């Protein structure tokens, strides 16, 4: 089977292998076990970050390189007018050859893939929508358009659209799905935390405005001002790092907030195995893997109620859903610490998250193919 993957994920060659963002490649390697060849339509990376990238296991790969483009500003949109026909043609070429078409959405490349797939109604297709499926509020018009096309059983034929969470009133081609990080064999006993000692918090993710890394620092600072013994560890990097560094410097928090930068999966895993809480004050998510990863190891999530997150946390029984300012949330958190059985909350998260392993994920992929 020739399996065409249409994605906006940046790719690059190294030692004759094709590499991309590790969590994405880790998933695609599972798909690759059941296909003969990957036909990848993806942009080429100009910068390599070994700590967060990895190589495809699949040996038979044909890469249709495309230019990166954006439509977020007038200047970018004008440039995109020239680039979009090139991308469209490359996607079309891969779809002609493919036995199965797989779209990675949402994204600019995914949007063009949604349009191209209309011309191949007879070919089996899947689409992985990794964003917030449940609402169109405050979402880019391109995301809303992708959803409309994918929902349409007239425009989109012979396709299973994989979305995070369970949403009522969906068309017949929408399939609730999940993602995973760990294997069944990794279900080792978790370390029981002592919540009377210094509480260890983790932020793991991109330092982007949407992830609000500075919110996490302000929250921990408020806890410290209230007399709580806490420490925050950041794993990740991005454009917001400088603002976090400046906040740490101004408030003199060098011994209470540590920036570790981008780290390999095993380093982050070890941190989650020992931390008390995960902080993810994100403005938007699909299925936040780090939340499920934290719960897998008994690390309690403190997360904004976006997308399917409330369902993941059983509406507050497996973690904290946050909606207030850092200072207000810190006060609410301190009050909750006095009344909640945190070991019970952590245990509930462990039990739930260990249903979603890579072994189960692979079985679901087999069914789709």
Per-residue confidence (pLDDT) for residue 258, from 0 to 100 = 98
Query: Do 99 and 195 lie in a common domain?
Result: no
Please report which confidence band the pLDDT of residue 71 belongs to, taking 50, 70 and 90 as the band edges. Answer: low
Query: Do 109 and 216 lie in a common domain?
Result: no
Query: Do 113 and 210 lie in a common domain?
Result: no
CATH code, domain with 89: 3.40.50.2000
Query: Do 132 and 206 lie in a common domain?
Result: no
Asked whether the predicted pLDDT for residue 254 surpasses 90, the reply is yes
Query: Do 348 and 234 lie in a common domain?
Result: yes
Q: Record the tokens describing residue 252, joined without a space.
A: 């003199």
Query: Do 221 and 338 lie in a common domain?
Result: yes
Query: Do 104 and 216 lie in a common domain?
Result: no
Query: Do 170 and 269 lie in a common domain?
Result: no
Query: Do 143 and 234 lie in a common domain?
Result: no
Domain holding 315, by residue range, is: 188-353
Query: Do 28 and 177 lie in a common domain?
Result: yes
Percent of the chain with pLDDT over 70: 97
Query: Do 347 and 212 lie in a common domain?
Result: yes
> Considering the chain, what is the average pLDDT of its residues?
93
Asked whether the predicted pLDDT for residue 287 surpasses 90, the reply is no
Query: Do 346 and 219 lie in a common domain?
Result: yes
Cut 0.85: pTM above it:
no
Please report which confidence band the pLDDT of residue 70 belongs to, taking 50, 70 and 90 as the band edges. Answer: confident
Asked whether the predicted pLDDT for residue 136 surpasses 70, the reply is no
**Total structural domains in the chain?**
2
Per-residue confidence (pLDDT) for residue 75, from 0 to 100 = 65
Per-residue confidence (pLDDT) for residue 135, from 0 to 100 = 67
| Mean pLDDT computed over 188-208 | 95
């Amino acid at each position: 089977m020739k399996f065409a993957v249409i994605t906006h994920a940046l790719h690059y060659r190294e030692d004759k292998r094709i590499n991309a963002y590790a969590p994405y490649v880790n998933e695609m390697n599972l798909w690759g076990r059941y296909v003969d060849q990957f036909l990848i339509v993806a942009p080429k990376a100009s910068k390599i970050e070994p700590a967060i990238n990895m190589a495809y296991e699949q040996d038979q790969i044909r890469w249709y390189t495309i230019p990166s483009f954006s439509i977020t500003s007038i200047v970018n949109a004008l440039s995109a007018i020239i680039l979009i026909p090139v991308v469209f043609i490359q996607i079309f070429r891969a779809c002609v050859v493919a036995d199965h078409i797989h779209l990675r959405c949402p994204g600019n490349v995914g949007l063009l893939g949604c349009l191209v797939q209309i011309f191949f109604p007879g070919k089996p297709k899947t689409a992985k929508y990794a964003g917030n499926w449940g609402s169109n509020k405050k979402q880019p018009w391109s995301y809303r358009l992708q959803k409309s096309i994918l929902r349409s059983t007239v425009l989109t034929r012979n396709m299973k659209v994989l979305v995070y969470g369970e949403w009522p009133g969906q068309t017949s081609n929408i399939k609730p799905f999940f993602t995973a990080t760990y294997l069944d064999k990794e279900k080792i006993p978790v370390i029981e935390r002592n919540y009377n000692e210094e509480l260890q918090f983790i932020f793991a993710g991109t330092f982007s405005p949407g992830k609000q890394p500075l919110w996490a620092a302000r929250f921990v600072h408020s806890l410290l001002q209230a007399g709580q013994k806490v420490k925050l560890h950041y794993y990740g990097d991005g454009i917001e790092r400088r603002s976090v560094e400046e906040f740490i410097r101004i408030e003199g928090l060098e011994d209470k907030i540590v920036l570790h930068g981008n780290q390999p999966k095993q380093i982050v895993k070890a941190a989650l195995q020992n931390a008390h809480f995960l902080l993810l004050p994100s403005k938007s998510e699909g299925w936040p893997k780090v939340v499920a990863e934290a719960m897998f190891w008994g690390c309690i999530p403190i997360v904004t109620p976006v997308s399917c997150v409330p369902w993941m946390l059983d509406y507050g029984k497996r973690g904290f859903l946050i909606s207030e300012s850092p200072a207000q949330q810190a006060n609410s958190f301190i009050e909750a610490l006095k009344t909640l059985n945190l070991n019970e909350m952590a245990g509930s998260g462990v039990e739930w998250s260990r249903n979603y392993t890579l072994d189960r994920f692979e079985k679901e992929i087999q069914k789709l193919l």
